[in-house]
Amino acid sequence: MRPPRTPTVGDKDLLEQEPERRLLAETSELRAFFRRRLRNDVDTDDYVQEVFARVIASTGVERISNMRAFLLQTASNLLKDSYRRRATLRRAREDVPIEAAIDLADAWQPSPEMVLAQRDELRVLQEELTLMDPMRRDVLMLARLEGISHAEIAKRLGIDVATVRVHLKRAIAHLVKRRMQT
């Protein structure tokens, strides 16, 4: 079996494929990328899903001519962000007493516009989730909201780990497709 080709600007057939198909065709490449760089294999799938979420959230996914390069750059940026966040948290723990951090967190209030925008996004997401296959929705909720590993989800739902991955891919593809339609 040949690996999927990376579309280029002159490759109209591949560029005209549905963006979610082009996105998901690079899953194994992303998984290998993270396995080489992470010490914990359990986090690999979470990082892959986060890359997909970032790409979905960006605008113009259908205009990406080199999906592989775009995904790998996003993956690299995700790792950098993760390392920076951990370093910042380590420094913050050393510099700020816990009481001050709690007071600061309690003082922050979102603007009314932010609250309305987030409510709208939540409403749209809830509608999309109701349209999704129930098993896919359950897998997505367990993995993304509850942070449960793929192995644990498989055990809980009585399915194979590979099936969990397929459901996650399809759930993300569903959300990508619906987001692009709106």
Rounded-to-integer distance, Cα 114 and Cα 54, Å: 20
- Reported residue count of the chain is 182
Rounded-to-integer distance, Cα 44 and Cα 30, Å: 9
Which residue, chain included where needed, has tokens 């940026």? 77
Buried b or exposed e, range 40-64, using 16+ CB within 10 angstroms: eeeebbbbbbbbbbebbeeeebeeb
Confidence band (pLDDT; 50, 70, 90) for 17?
A: low
- The string of pLDDT tens digits covering residues 83-140 is 888 877 776 666 656 666 666 666 667 778 888 888 888 888 888 888 889 999 999 9
Domain definitions of the chain by residue range:
1-97, 112-182
> Which H or E element spans position 181?
helix 161-181
Judge whether residue 176 has pLDDT over 70: yes
Q: Given this structure, which CATH class describes domain 112-182?
A: mainly alpha
Q: Which residue has the higher pLDDT, 24 or 162?
A: 162
Q: Which residue has the higher pLDDT, 129 or 176?
A: 129
Task: Select from 19, 68, 75 the least CA-distant residue to 49.
Answer: 75
Predicted TM-score of the model (pTM)? 0.47
